[in-house]
Structure 1
């Protein structure tokens, strides 16, 4: 067995968490974006009925949590409808947003039971923030963080350490002062825009595909949004369960560096112990967490996300 092989492959019945990426469009052009998102992004080829069908298939597999991500998911016109469909299917939702702009009707949907928010953050300095994101939007994001907390919406924030001189600690202090209690820190992953080349599986955290999967705007199924070039088929051509049970899915998982022996994250056995040293993620390797999803008792199924 090589270092890139899983000791115990997951089956479709063990899938606990699904990322749904309805759009590649984003107001920002972050220098570290793993999805290379920008205002020029598109909603891909997945239609609203396609997304609802995937949510139904996920619910049938026993998946209790999905995360809408992007791109910027709030830019997809059907996001409120998709959230409502997931909740009606007994699937809880997290929306991972840059929190640049949240229309009033969406705030009402985000305030519903079973919905959470997550966002990325970088610094307390507006100029430094603009150099990272490409837009002067720090005041908007900060204002919407405050609005989410005032509304009682569960919120977690991931700080991505992009530049050597970045005011990370000052950013954490700002967030703490606003009332944010769940803050993770991660290094830049050399994937997508910062990679300038082919995917290096060593940049993945090692948990990709181990109880998780992602569906991209074109319907591609991958172990996680960061491993987006590692397609195991397409939900427009085959049901989710068939893809997860297929040979291609197993082959794709073999490309992901395995967690260290004995340190696998098993949330259902309460063995996930996030630490600051490990970027507040499930171990596998005492490396920084795989942003955007940090494993914590509130965020990983069952009873987690």
Structure 2
């Protein structure tokens, strides 16, 4: 799996955002041709899934072209969107075979949702979830527990009523806007970063996963993806794996050709 982070521009200002996305974000330095070249190299290396993330990936003007390029390369596509506003060209691209949607959802209560996202967008997101389901676009949702007493059970029930069949959950990870002072703790990651997956950031650099961006290195615009992946996985092995050395096996975040099977929220508990 390869995440492609198309920038940090986003309509929302989520209090737990792992890359500080918001209205003052941008699309980075990667051009559409740069992204297409990275997609082609990923396909040659045996990648099965590309997930477009942000920021908000649907704000990138090249997203429909990139979805098409990814499908022509024989790869599955998932777009992780806040589903606040999608243009008709984006809807057309999403309706292709082999493309699916993922979104974050926090509460059945619009005010509680706004407290988390910083914007009054609950209604728009609900409308677009329903539209995606009606169009037959596979949709999965993730519920992140941000507030004490958050109405997560009610959110799950609302998603089910809208036709979303795959709903996961997680706690806030202390990275980006949610990071405490004092740096990054690899032990707060799911522990599977870099195991057959990586993220290309909008800067062109590579990291083991979107939340381990402090390990980003290189530039896919000037270096082959294969070599950068080897270094990325070495860094993950050296910096992330030791923080999870006492953990037993579980069905955690495997390279998700079927993302709904990815459960990074499973707590990592030492074996007896």
Q: Same fold (TM over 0.5)?
A: yes
Q: Give, in angstroms, the shift of residue 22 of structure 1.
A: 1.1
**1:117 and 2:101 aligned:** yes
**Shift in alpha-carbon separation, 1:127–1:266, aligned structure 2, 3 A:** closer
**1:102 and 2:112 aligned:** no
Number of residue pairs aligned between Structure 1 and Structure 2: 263
**1:236 and 2:208 aligned:** no
Q: TM-score, normalised by structure 1?
A: 0.81
191-200 or 43-52: which moved more? 191-200
Q: Give, in angstroms, the shift of residue 234 of structure 1.
A: 2.0
Q: Deviations over 1:202-247 (max 9, x none)?
A: 110101111110000001100001111111322123111011234x
- Unmatched tracts of structure 2, length 5 or more: none
Q: TM-score, normalised by structure 2?
A: 0.90
**1:138 and 2:141 aligned:** no
State whether residues 28 and 135 of structure 1, in contact with CA within 8 Å, keep that contact through their aligned partners in structure 2: yes
Report runs of 4+ in structure 1 exceeding 6 Å deviation.
none
State whether residues 252 and 266 of structure 2, in contact with CA within 8 Å, keep that contact through their aligned partners in structure 1: yes
Taking the aligned partners of 2:235 and 2:100, their CA distance within structure 1 comes to 33
**Shift in alpha-carbon separation, 1:235–1:284, aligned structure 2, 3 A:** farther
Q: Which has the higher helix share?
A: 2
> Which residue of the partner structure matches residue 198 of structure 2?
213
Q: 2:44 aligns with which of 57, 60, 73?
A: 60
**Shift in alpha-carbon separation, 1:265–1:182, aligned structure 2, 3 A:** closer
**Shift in alpha-carbon separation, 1:212–1:103, aligned structure 2, 3 A:** same
**Shift in alpha-carbon separation, 1:75–1:267, aligned structure 2, 3 A:** closer
> Which residue of the partner structure matches residue 268 of structure 2?
285
- Unmatched tracts of structure 1, length 5 or more: 1-16, 288-305
**1:173 and 2:153 aligned:** no
Q: Give, in angstroms, the shift of residue 262 of structure 1.
A: 4.2
CA-based RMSD? 2.3
**Shift in alpha-carbon separation, 1:85–1:179, aligned structure 2, 3 A:** same
Matches within 5 A, 1:9-24: 17-24=1-8
Q: Give, in angstroms, the shift of residue 196 of structure 1.
A: 3.5
